[in-house]
């Protein structure tokens, strides 16, 4: 079934640890995004990639890094997790056209203790 | 600053009609999206409006007034499965998506 796969589904992480959230899509979409969703707030963009080999910073990039070595994969790394990074993380993709909808993965629920 | 306003929560009765409003103040406008998000799940696309007027898609319709910075999502013949959060998002002049916090819709039998 075509779509976006995120892993892990959930994770409890000690502060200071490094963590990579995985995201893979099989729709051959050019654009991919990482959002975090916190209660009472809209989705906030962390990083994005318009095409393989390029990445850009979103609204809340500090403490996070991404890479886009190929079309399908877009991992998000927390170099040294802090409690404020406790959130639900969604990966999304689109064909890159501005009026095209985003396709979201099922999310990763991350708790930093 | 850029801002999207939606009611935090609404309650409606099964079989009825509900209108979820979204007002926005953004730097430019290049379209407005509505997404549905069931609890614990991913957002899924419902509609996209870029011109003024009403777009109908089955039981769901979306309306846009660019001059008023206003949109609404209209859900007819409500079903229990429509219990979800509804997210409004606007594409600004830089084609960045600005998201509202979402409206949690509770459907009662």
Q: Is A13 exposed, middle or buried (0-12, 13-18, 19+ CB in 10 A)?
A: middle
- Check whether B1 has a pLDDT greater than 80: no
Q: Name the average pLDDT for chain B.
A: 96
Residue A104 CA to residue A92 CA, distance in Å, equals 4
**For B42-89, what is each residue's pLDDT tens digit?**
999 999 999 999 999 999 999 999 999 999 999 999 999 999 999 999
- Check whether A2 has a pLDDT greater than 80: no
Name every chain A residue with its beta carbon within 8 A of the beta carbon of B87. 42-43
β-sheet with A64-66: strand ranges across: A4-7, A19-25, A76-78, A64-66
Nearest-CA distance B32 → chain A (Å): 9
Confidence at A1, pLDDT banded by 50, 70, 90: low
- Check whether B2 has a pLDDT greater than 90: no
Residue B34 CA to residue B87 CA, distance in Å, equals 6
Q: A98–B30: do the CB atoms touch at under 8 Å? A: yes
Share of chain A above pLDDT 90, in %: 94
Say if A102 is an interface residue toward chain B (CB within 8 Å).
Answer: yes
Confidence at residue B65, expressed as pLDDT on a 0 to 100 scale? 98
Instruction: Provide the β-strand partners of residue B108.
Output: B13
Say if A90 is an interface residue toward chain B (CB within 8 Å).
Answer: yes
Mean pLDDT calculated for residue range B2-14 = 96
Name every chain A residue with its beta carbon within 8 A of the beta carbon of B30. 98
- Check whether A16 has a pLDDT greater than 90: yes
Instruction: Report the chain A residue with the minimal C-alpha distance to residue B46.
Output: A101
Could you write out the DSSP letters of every residue in B16-82?
Answer: S-EEEEEEEE-SS-S-EEEEEE-TTS--EEEEEE-SSEEEEETTEEEEEETTTTEEEEEE-S--GGG
Closest Cβ opposite residue B42 in set A44, A101, A106:
A106
**For A36-55, what is each residue's pLDDT tens digit?**
999 989 899 999 999 999 99
Pairing of strands A108-112, B18-25: unpaired
Nearest-CA distance A16 → chain B (Å): 27
Pairing of strands B60-65, B53-57: antiparallel
């Amino acid at each position: 079934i075509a779509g976006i796969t995120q892993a892990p589904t959930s994770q409890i992480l000690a502060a200071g640890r490094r963590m990579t959230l995985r995201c893979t899509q099989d729709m051959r979409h050019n654009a991919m995004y990482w959002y975090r969703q916190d209660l009472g707030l809209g989705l906030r963009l962390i990083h994005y990639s318009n095409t393989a080999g390029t990445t850009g910073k979103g609204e809340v990039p500090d403490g996070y890094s991404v890479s886009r070595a190929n079309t399908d994969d877009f991992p998000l790394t927390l170099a040294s997790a802090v409690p404020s990074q406790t959130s639900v993380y969604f990966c999304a993709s689109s064909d890159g056209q501005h009026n095209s909808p985003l396709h979201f993965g099922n999310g990763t629920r991350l708790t930093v203790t | 600053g850029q801002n999207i306003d939606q009611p935090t929560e609404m309650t409606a009765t099964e079989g009825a009609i509900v209108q979820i409003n979204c007002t926005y103040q953004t730097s430019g406008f290049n379209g407005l999206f509505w997404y549905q998000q069931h609890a614990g799940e991913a957002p899924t696309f419902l509609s996209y409006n870029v011109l003024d007027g009403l777009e109908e898609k089955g039981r769901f319709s979306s309306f846009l007034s660019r001059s008023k910075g206003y949109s609404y999502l209209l859900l007819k013949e409500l079903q229990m499965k429509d219990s979800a959060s509804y997210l409004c998002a606007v594409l600004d002049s830089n084609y960045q998506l600005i998201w509202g916090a979402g409206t949690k819709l509770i459907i009662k039998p």
